[in-house]
Amino acid sequence: MTHQGRVAMGVIQRRWVVLLLAVCFLALVPALAGTQEIVRVGGVGSALGVMKIIGSAFEAANPGIRVQVVPSLGSSGGIKALFEGALDLALSGRPLKEEEKARGALSQELVRTPFIFVTHLGVAKDAVTTREVEQIYAGELTAWPDGSRIRLILRPTRESDSLILLAISPALEQAHRAAVNREGMIIAITDQENVERLARIPGSFGQTTLTQLMSEKLDLKVLAYNGVKPSVKALASGEYKLAKIIFLVTRNGTTSPAAQKFVQFLHTGKARKLLAEAGNLVSNVRPGH
């Protein structure tokens, strides 16, 4: 592992420990107060914005239960927190691993959302092709059409968004791995840190999801990809090819009644409408292993 990779991994581990301790502490507050039941939800950052929207609607219909959406832990961090009892429900941007299934984790596909390429609002560019993305990551394309510098925002190689990116083409996989090893590159650890940097840094280029963009009301320019503008409709028709799947993860036999009620709410027409309005192609929610 490169020095940058070791640093990124260390940051991820430290952040997960701090957030896990914070979640455990916050979970004690309602219990000590004896006021409300609490459903703790967390995991992959791109789903947190829409979960806050769903959580507010659920609370309005169930005033005795509060939904606590915790800061980004990532997919693996959320599943770990679920096993530790710090979360009631985890959100993952990847399928379960075999060892997670063996420990009793169960997953169901919740939504699919367009995986999108984005830039800073000031970038004079409206679309990219696969070849251009490969060239940007390879360091062969370094300037936008107006001559301004391209500032690539990277994600850790094993992060779920990176795995989608690497699967686009062998050339892009090779280019991404080379980019992570170049000196001076910007690496955003969490989904929220990623979009913050994309919105703040002039000339930025990177990726996020349509649901994060819409639910968090982000000021980013969305690029058409291979001639297709990303949308839920284009994803449903198959015209737009890139998607991120969000899984809802529970642990067999440990889901509280309040959390079960929230899961049931996700099946309702109200919740499905809110998910769709936030940039998601809603799945026929079904248990998976």
Could you check whether 3-112+245-288 and 113-237 share the same CATH topology?
A: yes
pLDDT band for position 140 (cuts 50, 70, 90):
very high
pLDDT digits (tens, 9 = 90+) for 193-242: 999 999 999 999 999 999 999 999 999 999 999 999 999 999 999 999 99
Question: pTM for this structure?
Answer: 0.87
Q: Is the pLDDT score of 6 beyond 90? A: no
Question: Domain residue spans in the chain?
Answer: 3-112+245-288, 113-237
Which residues, 6 or more positions from 19, have their beta carbon under 8 angstroms from its beta carbon? 70, 71, 73, 77, 81
Q: Is the pLDDT score of 28 beyond 80? A: no
Q: For residue 259, what pLDDT is reported?
A: 97
Q: For residue 23, what pLDDT is reported?
A: 53
pLDDT band for position 91 (cuts 50, 70, 90):
very high
Q: What is the mean pLDDT of the chain?
A: 90
**Cβ-contact 46, 191 below 8 angstroms:** yes
**Cβ-contact 79, 93 below 8 angstroms:** no
Least confident of 31-45, 87-101, 114-128: 31-45
Q: Is the pLDDT score of 11 beyond 50? A: no
Q: For residue 56, what pLDDT is reported?
A: 98
Distance separating alpha carbons of residues 132 and 165, to the nearest angstrom:
13
Question: Tell me, what amino acid is at 234?
Answer: A
Q: For residue 284, what pLDDT is reported?
A: 72
**Cβ-contact 105, 250 below 8 angstroms:** yes
pLDDT band for position 25 (cuts 50, 70, 90):
very low
Q: Is the pLDDT score of 30 beyond 60? A: no
Question: Among candidates 186, 258, 194, which has minimal Cα distance to 220?
Answer: 194
Q: For residue 253, what pLDDT is reported?
A: 86
Q: What is the share, in percent, of the chain residues with pLDDT greater than 90?
A: 83
Structural tokens at position 198? 């994309």
The predicted model gives 110-119 an average pLDDT of 98
Instruction: State which fold the 113-237 domain adopts.
Output: D-Maltodextrin-Binding Protein; domain 2 (3.40.190)
Q: Which residue has the higher pLDDT, 103 or 22?
A: 103
Q: Is the pLDDT score of 243 beyond 50? A: yes
The predicted model gives 100-113 an average pLDDT of 96
CATH class of 3-112+245-288: alpha beta
Distance separating alpha carbons of residues 215 and 230, to the nearest angstrom:
16
Q: What is the share, in percent, of the chain residues with pLDDT greater than 70?
A: 86
